[in-house]
Amino acid sequence: MSADLTGPLRGHRLLHDPISAGALRRIPVGDRTLLGLSDGFLLMSRDFLGTAEAPAIGHDTLRQRYGEVRLPLGCFLLPGERPVLIDTGLGADDFRRGGRLVGGNLLPQLARQGVRPDDVSVLALSHLHGDHSGTVGDPLTGRPVFANARTFVGRGDWEHFVERELAPIPIAPHTRAALLELERRGQVTLIDGERDIAPGVRAIAAPGHTPGHTVYAVHDHGERVLVLGDAMHCPQQLDHLDWQVTFDVDPVLARQTRDRLHADLEAHGGGAVGCHFPELLLARVLTRKPGA
């Protein structure tokens, strides 16, 4: 496979930006290393993350540190005998030609790690929004990109996005086509509750952002890192559990899930990283739960 970039990220000013599209983070977990890679970037609008009283609080807090608030489209690779890939970014696209949500860097990033799509043994999706499922299918043919991978999706998301076509933010036709083809081949496993999906990787239901939203615990030799998907959008949310994004499918359930994840991290330690954490930085809960 060529490592050349295709799509709208070619030559883009943010292509090598370590905070967003160029983010590359090595996260030690026991004797293994989880690699955080970014498929592209998301420019955060002012009302994206906050509270009813302070809808811009997330944006304005991040702007103090980063200036222009741009987030990565995080994907996570656990190399090994059976490589595991968690999430796939947007794919080579500029969402609605708006220049605010642009992807296409995942396959080149994987190639630089010596990983071809066919090498991926397990594909784990946090949820089916387009900025996480965009590279599941080839945009031209709808064929599965990670053709050999056993693919894990939360049952609630499969029903919401694939079966019923109800979602206000629908999945792309090529993504649906690829998922249905993987299902036809018997390569799709739907997740309820908790289950191990590969050695050292456990899926944990974390609904609210979407009905079947799932987080993944990567563990080795007593250490653990939670890959949060979109359960949280920046590390500061661990201190501000009342911040929510504007498009949680079930905001009340999403808040309960954030509370549960915070309590889990407080009780068990370890780090956590969300797909849109700037720089794909790992966060930890260091203090007691604030009064939020």
Residue numbers of the site for Zn ion (CB under 5 A)? 131, 230
Give the rounded distance of the alpha carbon of 63 from its chain centre. Answer: 22
Least distance CB 200 / Zn ion (angstroms) = 24
Q: What letter represents residue 162's amino acid?
A: V
Q: For residue 157, give every residue at least 6 positions away whose Cβ sits within 8 Å of its Cβ, in sequence order, or none.
A: 125, 127, 128, 210, 211, 212, 213, 214
8 Å CB contact between 238 and 195? no
Least distance CB 57 / Zn ion (angstroms) = 19
In the structure encoding, which two tokens stand for residue 200, read together?
Answer: 């050292």
Residue among 20 and 187 whose Cβ is closer to Zn ion? 20
Residue among 230 and 264 whose Cβ is closer to Zn ion? 230
Residue among 131 and 248 whose Cβ is closer to Zn ion? 131
Least distance CB 54 / Zn ion (angstroms) = 22
Q: What letter represents residue 100's amino acid?
A: R
In the structure encoding, which two tokens stand for residue 67, read together?
Answer: 């200036």
Strands 188-191 vs 150-154: parallel, antiparallel or unpaired? parallel
- Of the candidates 153, 152, 135, the one whose C-alpha atom is nearest the C-alpha of residue 144 is 135
Least distance CB 230 / Zn ion (angstroms) = 4
Least distance CB 92 / Zn ion (angstroms) = 17
Residue among 171 and 219 whose Cβ is closer to Zn ion? 171
Q: What letter represents residue 39's amino acid?
A: D
Residue among 32 and 233 whose Cβ is closer to Zn ion? 233
3-state secondary structure of 235: helix
